[in-house]
């Protein structure tokens, strides 16, 4: 088996991250939405991307944090002050602040929490924000938002955090908190905006037109990419075997499909 990084180039993963929409523009919240900057792809940026090939970045969330940091470094609007600031009290870790930035356009300091998620829109779970649930039904948009608003954002005002703010010569009262909540949405409702694909049962997947089709089940840390970026494909029999193995672990794979000159992506879920 080839390594994950060879099957989809880092630049394709990074571009997919940039293009992923912030779903809080649709599902609003009282916390301001981070205004993502324009980022030009340069040789210097590509060289910076190559530096993130590290075991730490094999996890989707950590890889997206590295992508965010690079996007900020190569933006004209924002300045990166610090990232992944771990706040400790004696020997106990209280939590971590994702990013401290300076917004040159609005002349203010920001504390930004980054989220990158993939959600199924399942009407059987509920309506509106309640229907956004993880492909394995283990997490949800509302659960994540509650964690951010009750645990992650309040950390900025914890007395122990002031030590770190002083280190960067920052005044708590001058810092605005924002959330960057990028997410892919998979829905079977054609009227849903911002969706990236559908979700199918194994039986529905087996009924697809598979003539001349090729498939690939990307590992989670590649989910930001588009199917067009995939360099290696599997046959139908190979992908069915892979799906069956994942189903035994109650894992719903993301599937990329190449059919003649078209590409599509969808989840095959074990619970439908």
**By the 8 A CB rule, do 49 and 70 touch?**
yes
**By the 8 A CB rule, do 84 and 69 touch?**
no
96 pLDDT more than 60: yes
202 pLDDT more than 50: yes
pLDDT recorded at residue 72: 98
Residues in the chain: 272
Query: Do 132 and 48 share a structural domain?
Result: yes
Q: pLDDT digits over 207-245, tens only?
A: 998 889 999 999 999 999 999 999 999 999 999 999 999
Distances in whole angstroms, Cα of residue 73 to Cα of each of 39, 119, 182? 9, 29, 19
Residue 116 structural domain: 4-186
Q: pLDDT digits over 100-130, tens only?
A: 999 999 999 999 999 999 999 999 999 989 9
pLDDT recorded at residue 186: 97
Dihedral Cα 122, 68, 4, 261, nearest 10 deg: 60
What φ, ψ does residue 147 adopt, rounded to 5°?
-65, -40
Between 60-73 and 43-50, two packed helices, what is the crossing angle to 10 degrees? 150
Tokens 């993963």 correspond to 13
Domain end marker among 186, 204, 222: 186
Percent of the residues in the chain that have a pLDDT greater than 70, as a whole number:
96
pLDDT recorded at residue 5: 46
Query: Do 228 and 160 share a structural domain?
Result: no
4 pLDDT more than 60: no
Query: Do 15 and 57 share a structural domain?
Result: yes
Query: Do 98 and 67 share a structural domain?
Result: yes
Contacts for 148 with CB less than 8 Å, ≥ 6 apart: 31, 113, 115, 179
- When pLDDT is averaged across residues 254-262 and rounded to a whole number, the result is 93
Q: Under DSSP, is residue 23 helix (H, G, I), strand (E, B) or coil?
A: helix
Query: Do 206 and 180 share a structural domain?
Result: no
Q: Which two tokens stand for residue 90?
A: 């004696």
pLDDT recorded at residue 58: 81
3 pLDDT more than 50: no
Q: What rounded mean pLDDT belongs to the chain?
A: 93
Query: Do 249 and 173 share a structural domain?
Result: no
Q: Which of 5-19, 77-91, 175-189 has the lowest mean pLDDT?
A: 5-19
What secondary structure does DSSP assign to 146-170, as a single string? Answer: HHIIIIIGGGGGSTTHHHHHHHTT-
Q: Single out the residue of 203, 209, 197 nearest to residue 265, CA to CA.
A: 197
Query: Do 168 and 39 share a structural domain?
Result: yes
CA 33, distance to chain mean position in Å, is 15
Which residues are registered as beta bridge partners of 85? 97
Would you place residue 13 in the very low, low, confident or very high pLDDT band (cuts 50, 70, 90)? very high
Q: Under DSSP, is residue 115 helix (H, G, I), strand (E, B) or coil?
A: strand
CA distance 74 to 166: 26
Q: How many CB atoms lie within 10 A of CB 27?
A: 16
195 pLDDT more than 80: yes
Q: Under DSSP, is residue 96 helix (H, G, I), strand (E, B) or coil?
A: strand
CA distance 200 to 205: 6
Domain end marker among 119, 151, 186: 186
Would you place residue 194 in the very low, low, confident or very high pLDDT band (cuts 50, 70, 90)? confident
CA 94, distance to chain mean position in Å, is 24
Count up the domains in the chain and report the number. Answer: 2
Would you place residue 197 in the very low, low, confident or very high pLDDT band (cuts 50, 70, 90)? very high
Q: Single out the residue of 80, 78, 133 nearest to residue 103, CA to CA.
A: 78
Domain end marker among 152, 186, 220: 186
């Amino acid at each position: 088996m080839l390594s994950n990084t060879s099957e989809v180039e880092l630049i394709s993963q990074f571009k997919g991250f940039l293009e992923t929409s912030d779903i809080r523009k649709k599902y609003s919240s009282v916390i301001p939405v981070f205004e993502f900057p324009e980022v030009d792809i340069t040789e210097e940026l590509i060289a910076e991307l190559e530096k993130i090939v590290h075991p730490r970045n094999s996890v989707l969330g950590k890889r997206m944090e590295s992508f965010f940091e690079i996007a900020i470094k190569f933006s004209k609007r924002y300045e990166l002050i610090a990232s992944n600031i771990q706040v400790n009290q004696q020997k106990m870790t209280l939590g971590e602040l994702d990013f401290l930035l300076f917004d040159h356009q609005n002349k203010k300091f920001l504390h930004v929490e980054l989220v990158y998620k993939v959600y199924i829109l399942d009407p059987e779970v509920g309506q509106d924000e309640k229907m956004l649930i993880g492909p394995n039904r283990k997490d949800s948009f509302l659960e994540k938002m509650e964690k951010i608003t009750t645990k992650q954002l309040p950390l900025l005002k914890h007395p122990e955090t002031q030590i770190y703010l002083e280190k960067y010569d920052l005044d708590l009262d001058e810092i605005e908190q924002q959330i960057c909540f990028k997410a892919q949405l998979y829905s079977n409702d054609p009227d849903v905006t911002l969706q990236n694909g559908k979700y199918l049962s194994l039986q529905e997947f087996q009924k697809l037109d598979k003539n001349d089709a090729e498939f690939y089940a990307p590992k989670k840390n590649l989910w930001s990419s588009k199917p067009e970026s995939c360099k290696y494909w599997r046959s139908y029999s190979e992908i069915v075997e892979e799906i069956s193995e994942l189903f035994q672990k109650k894992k719903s794979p993301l599937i990329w499909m190449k059919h003649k000159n078209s590409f599509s992506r969808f989840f095959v879920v074990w619970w439908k």
